[in-house]
Amino acid sequence: MILFLKKNTSDTQVENLVKWFDDMGIESHLSKGKFQTVLGLVGDTSAVDISLIEGLEIVETVKRIQEPFKNSNRKFHPDDTVVNVGDAKIGGKFFQIIAGPCSVESEEQICSIAKQVKEAGATLLRGGAFKPRTSPYAFQGLRAEGIELLLKAKQHTGLPIVTEIMDLSHLDLFADVDVIQVGARNMQNFELLKQLGKTDKPILLKRGLASTLEELLMSAEYIMAGGNENVILCERGIRTFETYTRNTLDISAIPLLKELSHLPIIVDPSHATGLSKLVRPLSLASVAGGADGLIIEVHNNPQCALCDGPQSITPEAFGDVVSEISPFLKLLGKEGLGGLV
Amino acid sequence: MILFLKKNTSDTQVENLVKWFDDMGIESHLSKGKFQTVLGLVGDTSAVDISLIEGLEIVETVKRIQEPFKNSNRKFHPDDTVVNVGDAKIGGKFFQIIAGPCSVESEEQICSIAKQVKEAGATLLRGGAFKPRTSPYAFQGLRAEGIELLLKAKQHTGLPIVTEIMDLSHLDLFADVDVIQVGARNMQNFELLKQLGKTDKPILLKRGLASTLEELLMSAEYIMAGGNENVILCERGIRTFETYTRNTLDISAIPLLKELSHLPIIVDPSHATGLSKLVRPLSLASVAGGADGLIIEVHNNPQCALCDGPQSITPEAFGDVVSEISPFLKLLGKEGLGGLV
Amino acid sequence: MILFLKKNTSDTQVENLVKWFDDMGIESHLSKGKFQTVLGLVGDTSAVDISLIEGLEIVETVKRIQEPFKNSNRKFHPDDTVVNVGDAKIGGKFFQIIAGPCSVESEEQICSIAKQVKEAGATLLRGGAFKPRTSPYAFQGLRAEGIELLLKAKQHTGLPIVTEIMDLSHLDLFADVDVIQVGARNMQNFELLKQLGKTDKPILLKRGLASTLEELLMSAEYIMAGGNENVILCERGIRTFETYTRNTLDISAIPLLKELSHLPIIVDPSHATGLSKLVRPLSLASVAGGADGLIIEVHNNPQCALCDGPQSITPEAFGDVVSEISPFLKLLGKEGLGGLV
Amino acid sequence: MILFLKKNTSDTQVENLVKWFDDMGIESHLSKGKFQTVLGLVGDTSAVDISLIEGLEIVETVKRIQEPFKNSNRKFHPDDTVVNVGDAKIGGKFFQIIAGPCSVESEEQICSIAKQVKEAGATLLRGGAFKPRTSPYAFQGLRAEGIELLLKAKQHTGLPIVTEIMDLSHLDLFADVDVIQVGARNMQNFELLKQLGKTDKPILLKRGLASTLEELLMSAEYIMAGGNENVILCERGIRTFETYTRNTLDISAIPLLKELSHLPIIVDPSHATGLSKLVRPLSLASVAGGADGLIIEVHNNPQCALCDGPQSITPEAFGDVVSEISPFLKLLGKEGLGGLV
């Protein structure tokens, strides 16, 4: 971190500042240039509050040299992280698709979809048990029962399951869940992230609607700082002024996150726009843009999904998407989808 | 709710749809116009998932006639809600200021600031015990100890205290807190909102960084649906493309929320932009725009605040702000600030 | 257009409204339902000002049934428009790349780049003569001389040229230019669009930084209403809160515009983020997402470009991008790039 | 401007860089610190392209020390600029209101409104002659005839007139117009700004929908660089994700622009949200926030305005707004409104 001091800063003020850092255990190095007095902070400054420093009266501005994320930073971990979920590997050269309905509704429904998406190439099953809904009057998911039904579908198909946690108090219910999803609205639920960092389960961390890439990586950092390095990042659209789509898929997030971090990054083309007709082109674009996987909403009867109907495609349409992306994946040297590519 | 059906919809399809609503206990009323067949849903449709209906193949589009919020809706509750916190009344003709430091740091610090802001006109004391920080390496607040120190400051000054909850598991620690704050990042932490709805404590609900006004009111609805009607809304800036300020204060939110809802609405001019120099003009503008109160960060030594330094003003500057807004409040016929106006 | 009238509307008021529309030559059709009185406007309502109607006291809300764009609307023109520029066809199954430097700097520079990008597969040459710069003190382009130099490069290579117009008064200088570009800042310069509608030149219309897709199509409508149907749409990134990238590429715009309109749509991966390292992945993603072409900044010496340096790639890097996208284009059944695919 | 060089930069590379700046006539000063080699550029660097410098391979990042705007910068012109329009002074301690209809429709209409708004306290008359409309099929204004009608209204009332220019080619028609307005869509129409800089007329420059404050000041700079210092800035709402309002009024823009620049800043509460019911509270808030004036749409029959109906208030409602803001203006020590305050 480099501090630019204001022109009229006195020597005493500079000395006090240096001492203040010293007291915090931070070494600093002064350089008086013709135009600017500059103070460089040495060592690990990730705990230093940049906005506090900026607030000091003698400081004109502050420049961070290091990114504030460490565990998730590619600089300190050049190789791609590959997250293993059962037989499915995500990251590096491995590409997987997580598919399933928005909400788990019944044993028949979830088992039937699980079977169909597996046949089409999905290697993980998703399904909502706890559902974050804008309205308190809307269906809130089958909750604990939903997780049990997902586990039955896992028994039948062998597919590892991915489902969303909404509150720390439910964590015990997720003991047999393979991947715990943290939804966009909880991306900065820091107490939740801290506790998930103490588990050894893969965490699917969705980007918040108005979160920057740096904030996403800082949230990954909360999990990793606790010792859990199995974090899968997920781009799912950000909020913009455009109204044709519910959100705007930030396709640049894929290559940028790949550069900044070693963590796998998958894309949710269903929630990214809220329009099922866009799932196919956005899946293709995400694959071409370098994604390590997709998470797609599939429903056997899109008209009867208990929630988020318009974003779901049928198992047949899902099969078509897999068929279309497969040759792209081969061109890009990716493997996965249960051996399909 | 009114459904516009597609032109080529057959009579059988319409009958099936009517029956489907019937099965859900929703009465519908068909109107075949020259240009459009329209189906009106009667009664309480707040539990109907509009996006599901929109996803039906025979539906062209759906128009909601009623707002989806009920308890917070001014239509069903024309009079302003006045929330009582100790002797302080917020809402209607009553205006209050909540002031205090970003973080509670020590007994001396919090008691000293409490005394000073009370003298200047603040009628509630704020202070962060649990601090949501973007970085896991940054200071996370004194947590339980912070609440104890706030309670000591309350003992000394008589000021009711306002502090933020970050997780349901901490709820017991808030037994003696007067107003529980739900931060912007937790505005859609629905499990937390549900539980807070079962308490009888006033809840200060901050608008999320990328949340619409309707979403804010739906979150208030989560709390009120549980039986707790003491909700204070708080506008604190939204995320936009502008980079001079951390966020953009949405001043229109004040009159719009006043029209849509009977709940009191206060403004946080400190977090709205992250620049302490803007606290004064934004406080004046918020008062003139019709706010029922302000929540302002005040620190006895802005340079040493352990977090969010740049947004804090000194007790002296705070006193000046109160002096400046007082004649405005009188012009607007507002009372409060411990009898100051 | 359908008008929902307020509940307490009197018969006289409805009659007056019907008469008012009648005077404007618009036929209307009344339908009194149990819940809502609805007035449907018949025929071409594209000249009706929806916001004016919404402002009428007896009108609750208005719903547009037809999109406000006509000439650009796929509903009235189901087949893809193919725009011909010299030998290059853009749209339908034809894919082309427009490449060249941000600014034309000298004859040697532009001719050398033109030769190199042609060899690599570009079929049109771009180069800035008139440069819209945020600062009046920055290099404003070679202007008229720049167009002359582009024409020389065209002579040498046979590549049709694409360059931006900044003001109507320069139109005469564009007599020999093959494609006139309207930049993002001028997307709603309606007087300019009207005049371009009277020419027969292909127009490359860039989406404004904060323009919705509907606004982009309405601007195309300005050109087409004048008789010029050769409009090529261009997605080039929108302004959002993310700060890692200058803008956010809205990849969904490609399939959405393809559905709404028959016009070709190309992508500018250089300006979309302002980071040359992202040109490659975003080009791949755009191709996979269904784009009809790309416009890429290429500079023989990226470090010396007189403007917008960071978004430019070298001719070698450009050649690599073409090589990488070619097999994708073949998979998608696209032709173009001078026979390369 | 300060350049941070990358760690592995060789001495030869640094020498070449210094020489390159030297060739451009820019003096530089090298400072090798323990952590960073820093190059400071001396003198006027406003013509230096920061993005070009950032693109150089040996440069890690660049920090601008000076703001890129000069003529509009308060640092070089500490006193408030007061723009004189006839008898009306805008800026400093002087506050004025510009009022009038969206579009000029007829002599009777504009003269009648002019009379009414003058009586209520307006000191300038606005009215649209050339109207930028999203749709080519919507009413485009009376154009030249509209300006003539405005001049008649000026004759009758003595009010100076403000109207929008849409294209340079119309400039001659504005010979007798008192204040030329540049609309939000033309804020970066640089050729237009340059020519307006050569006139001596006051220019009302509206902020673009997605323009930062710095960009607004750079556009003012285009005008001022030509010699015309009579620029009035106007905040009129920015585009955000919120959908209740057409745009979001950025109230912080007022105090921030006052700090950065000496130019007067007025607010357009009508276009800021598109809701006439918000004109009153946003006018109050803008006054309290420090604005030097307001521009308000007033229509004698809001239901018949040929465009932008919902944003207009009646002359009576306008009178009420003036009555309400007057005591606020007195509190703030402002003068104006034809002696009303």
Cβ atoms within 10 Å, residue A44? 12
Residues A150 and A297 in one domain: yes
Contact C162, C204 (CB under 8 A): yes
Q: Which residues of chain D have a CB within 8 Å of the CB of B288?
A: 281, 284-285, 287-289, 328
> Per DSSP, what are the bridge partners of residue D73?
D261
Neighbours of chain C (3+ CB pairs under 8 A): A, B, D
Q: Whole-angstrom Cα distance, residue D108 to residue D176?
A: 20
Q: Which residues of chain C have a CB within 8 Å of the CB of B33?
A: 29, 31, 38, 40
What is the per-residue DSSP string for C248-267?
Answer: B-BTTHHHHHHHHBSS-EEE
CA-to-CA separations, D163 to D99, D171, D253, in angstroms, rounded: 11, 12, 23
Q: What would the mean pLDDT of A28-51 be, rounded to a whole number?
A: 74
Q: Whole-angstrom Cα distance, residue A120 to residue A112?
A: 13
Question: Token pair for residue B334?
Answer: 């507002």
Asked if D36's CB is within 8 angstroms of A2's CB, the reply is yes
Residue B59: pLDDT band by 50, 70, 90 thresholds? confident
pLDDT at B308: 52
pLDDT at B290: 98
Q: Which residues of chain B have a CB within 8 Å of the CB of C36?
A: 2, 40, 65
Asked if A286's CB is within 8 angstroms of C284's CB, the reply is no
Q: Which residues of chain B have a CB within 8 Å of the CB of D273?
A: 252
Question: Token pair for residue C272?
Answer: 């979309």
pLDDT at B62: 82
Measure the CA angle with vertex D67, ends D61 and D71; round to 5°.
Answer: 150
Cβ atoms within 10 Å, residue A78? 8
Asked if D276's CB is within 8 angstroms of C136's CB, the reply is no
How far is C-alpha B142 from the chain's CA centre? Answer: 24
Residues D15 and D114 in one domain: no
Residue B303: pLDDT band by 50, 70, 90 thresholds? low
Q: Whole-angstrom Cα distance, residue D92 to residue B189?
A: 47
Sign of CA dihedral A192, A197, A201, A203: positive
> Per DSSP, what are the bridge partners of residue A37?
A5, A32
Sheet architecture: strand order including B2-5? B28-32, B37-41, B2-5, B59-63
Residues D153 and D249 in one domain: yes
Residue D52: pLDDT band by 50, 70, 90 thresholds? confident
Closest approach of B151 to chain A, Cα-based (Å): 23
The values of phi and psi at residue A267, to 5°, are -125, 140
Q: What is the mean pLDDT of chain D?
A: 91
Neighbours of chain A (3+ CB pairs under 8 A): B, C, D
Closest approach of B225 to chain A, Cα-based (Å): 7
CA-to-CA separations, C14 to B50, C3, C110, C219, D305, in angstroms, rounded: 30, 11, 65, 35, 19
Measure the CA angle with vertex C294, ends C289 and C296; round to 5°.
Answer: 135
Closest approach of C311 to chain A, Cα-based (Å): 14
Asked if residue B70 has pLDDT above 80, the reply is yes
Q: Whole-angstrom Cα distance, residue B46 to residue C43?
A: 35
Q: How many domains does chain A have?
A: 2
Q: Which residues of chain B have a CB within 8 Å of the CB of A250?
A: none
pLDDT at B168: 95
Between A77 and C341, the more confident residue is A77
pLDDT at C35: 64
Residue B73 domain-assigned?
Answer: no
Give the range among A65-79, A131-145, A209-223, C301-315 with minimum mean pLDDT.
Answer: C301-315
Residue D302: pLDDT band by 50, 70, 90 thresholds? low
What CATH number has the domain bearing residue B214? 3.20.20.70
**N- to C-terminal Cα distance for chain A?**
45
Asked if residue D240 has pLDDT above 70, the reply is yes
Between D139 and A174, the more confident residue is A174
CA-to-CA separations, B170 to B145, B180, C112, in angstroms, rounded: 12, 11, 68
Q: Which residues of chain D have a CB within 8 Å of the CB of C239?
A: 210
Of D213, D254, D281, the CB nearest to B290: D281
Residues C257 and C138 in one domain: yes
Q: Whole-angstrom Cα distance, residue B307 to residue B326?
A: 29
Of B243, B288, B327, the CB nearest to D284: B288
Q: Which residues of chain A have a CB within 8 Å of the CB of D65?
A: 35-36
Residue B188 DSSP one-character state: T
* Nearest Cα residue in chain B from A137: B47
Q: What would the mean pLDDT of A302-308 be, rounded to a whole number?
A: 52
Per-residue pLDDT reduced to its tens digit, A307-328:
555 678 999 999 999 999 999 9
| Sole residue written with tokens 């027969």 | C200
Q: In residues, how long is chain A?
A: 341
Q: Whole-angstrom Cα distance, residue A286 to residue A237?
A: 12
Query: What percentage of chain A carries pLDDT values higher than 70?
Result: 95
Contacts of D26 (CB under 8 A, 6+ apart): D41, D42, D43, D45, D48
Residues B88 and B213 in one domain: yes
* Nearest Cα residue in chain D from A40: D35
What CATH number has the domain bearing residue B41? 3.30.70.1140
Residue D265 domain-assigned?
Answer: yes
DSSP H helical ranges for chain B: 11-23, 50-55, 107-120, 144-157, 190-196, 213-225, 253-260, 269-273, 279-289, 315-331
pLDDT at D304: 56
Number of Cα atoms under 13 Å in the Cβ half of residue B25: 5
Between D41 and D186, the more confident residue is D186
Residue C150 domain-assigned?
Answer: yes
Residue A269 domain-assigned?
Answer: yes
Describe the crossing of helices A253-260 and C279-289 by its angle, rounded to 10 degrees.
150
Q: Which residue of B2, B28, B64, B238 to mutate against C (max C Cβ within 10 Å)? A: B2
pLDDT at B175: 97
pLDDT at D303: 53
Nearest to B167 by CA among B180, B148, B154: B180
Residue D69 domain-assigned?
Answer: no
Asked if A241's CB is within 8 angstroms of D2's CB, the reply is no
Contacts of B70 (CB under 8 A, 6+ apart): B46, B76, B221
pLDDT at A23: 79
Asked if C190's CB is within 8 angstroms of D309's CB, the reply is no
Asked if residue B309 has pLDDT above 70, the reply is no
Contact C234, C205 (CB under 8 A): yes
Of D136, D209, D312, the CB nearest to C221: D136
Measure the CA angle with vertex B55, ends D243 and A112; round to 5°.
Answer: 135
Q: Whole-angstrom Cα distance, residue B79 to residue B74?
A: 7
Asked if residue B77 has pLDDT above 80, the reply is yes
pLDDT at B132: 92
What is the per-residue DSSP string for A272-306?
Answer: HHS-GGGHHHHHHHHHHTT-SEEEEEB-SSGGG-S
Expressed in percent and rounded to 5, the helix, strand and coil fractions of chain C are 40, 20, 40
Residue D70 domain-assigned?
Answer: no
pLDDT at A320: 97
Count residue pairs from B and D with Cβ separation < 8 A. Answer: 115
Closest approach of B336 to chain A, Cα-based (Å): 32
Q: Whole-angstrom Cα distance, residue D295 to residue D234?
A: 9
Q: Which residues of chain A have a CB within 8 Å of the CB of C331?
A: 327-328, 331
Asked if C309's CB is within 8 angstroms of D52's CB, the reply is yes
Contacts of D323 (CB under 8 A, 6+ apart): none
One-letter identity of residue A305: A
pLDDT at B33: 67
Sheet architecture: strand order including D2-5? D28-32, D37-41, D2-5, D59-63
> Per DSSP, what are the bridge partners of residue D124?
D98
Count residue pairs from C and D with Cβ separation < 8 A. Answer: 148
Asked if A309's CB is within 8 angstroms of B55's CB, the reply is yes
Per-residue burial over C228-239, b if 16 or more Cβ lie within 10 Å, else e, is: bbbbbbbbbbbb
Q: What would the mean pLDDT of D128-138 be, rounded to a whole number?
A: 91
Per-residue pLDDT reduced to its tens digit, B100-117:
999 999 999 999 999 999
Asked if residue A178 has pLDDT above 60, the reply is yes
Residue B340: pLDDT band by 50, 70, 90 thresholds? confident
Residues C46 and C90 in one domain: no
Question: Token pair for residue B242?
Answer: 């502008």
Residues A106 and A201 in one domain: yes
Question: Token pair for residue A328?
Answer: 């792209």
Q: Could you list the residue range(s) of the whole structural domain that residue D252 is in?
A: 83-339
Bridging pattern class, strands A179-182 and C94-100: unpaired
* Nearest Cα residue in chain D from B323: D331
CA-based R_g, chain A, Å: 23
The values of phi and psi at residue A121, to 5°, are 125, -5
What is the per-residue DSSP string for B228-280?
Answer: ---EEEEE--B--S--SSSSB-BTTHHHHHHHHBSS-EEE-HHHHHS-GGGHH
pLDDT at D35: 63
Query: What percentage of chain D carries pLDDT values higher than 90?
Result: 70
Residues D88 and D210 in one domain: yes
Q: Whole-angstrom Cα distance, residue B265 to residue B83?
A: 11
| Sole residue written with tokens 């007599």 | C175
Question: Token pair for residue D62?
Answer: 């660049």
Asked if C49's CB is within 8 angstroms of D138's CB, the reply is yes
Asked if B290's CB is within 8 angstroms of D289's CB, the reply is no
Residue D253 domain-assigned?
Answer: yes
Q: Which residues of chain D have a CB within 8 Å of the CB of C170?
A: 191
Residues C254 and C303 in one domain: yes
* Nearest Cα residue in chain C from D166: C191
Residues A19 and A112 in one domain: no
Residues B43 and B152 in one domain: no
Q: What would the mean pLDDT of A302-306 be, rounded to a whole number?
A: 52
Sign of CA dihedral D46, D49, D51, D55: negative
Contact A180, A196 (CB under 8 A): yes
Residues C59 and C94 in one domain: no
Give the range among A304-308, A326-330, B211-215 with minimum mean pLDDT.
Answer: A304-308
Asked if A252's CB is within 8 angstroms of C245's CB, the reply is yes
Asked if residue B177 has pLDDT above 90, the reply is yes
Residue C334 domain-assigned?
Answer: yes
One-letter identity of residue A235: E
Asked if residue A304 has pLDDT above 60, the reply is no
One-letter identity of residue B144: A
ipTM greater than cut 0.85: yes
Which of A114-118, A130-134, B19-23, B136-140 is modeled with the greatest confidence?
A114-118
Q: Which residue of B23, B50, B135 to mutate against A (max A Cβ within 10 Å)? A: B135
pLDDT along chain C (341 residues), means of 10: 81 84 81 74 73 76 81 94 96 98 94 97 97 89 96 98 97 98 97 97 97 97 97 97 93 97 97 92 98 94 55 91 96 92 84
